[in-house]
Amino acid sequence: MPLMTWTDKLSVGIKAIDDDHKKLVSMVNELYGGIVAGHGKETLGKVLDELVNYTKFHFAREEGFFAKTGYPAAAAHKKEHDDLTKQVLDVQAKYKSGALATLSLEVMNFLKNWLVNHIQGSDQKYAPHLNAKGIH
């Protein structure tokens, strides 16, 4: 059973961003499934690396849209991105140093809650601005 399910409530109405969010949900579910199934460190480490890299890619895409359109809340939104990136890189570093328990259900629930709350909160706020600038 997946940790998260994509629903229309998570849609921001911008195809590229929604597609990124769907991929992030899928990757969180893949990591969660690996933890629950007891997969080895290499398998989980690879999935975690992919999740970290895709998250950076996604944040850069959003921030590119902000720069292109002059989104007024860009700095605050970028700070949220930077804060999560720092936390996830910390989890990744601890995991790579041998702290297998770092990838716990608690961490997975944190990622899930952050993703859902960020999409339904901060990301929903930029959608009207980007839509008004022709980004759908």
pLDDT in tens, 61-108: 999 999 999 999 999 999 999 999 999 998 898 888 887 777 888 889
Mean of the pLDDT values across residues 4-27?
A: 96
| Of 118 and 41, the one with more pLDDT | 118
Q: What are phi and psi of 133, to 5 degrees?
A: -95, 10
Provide the whole-model pTM: 0.93
Q: What per-residue confidence (pLDDT) applies to 105?
A: 82
Domain 13-132 belongs in CATH node 1.20.120.50: yes
Sorting pLDDT into bands at 50, 70 and 90, what band is 13?
very high
94 or 60: which leads in pLDDT: 60
Domain chopping of the chain, boundaries? 13-132
Confidence band for 117, pLDDT divided at 50, 70 and 90: very high
Q: Is pLDDT above 90 for 15?
A: yes
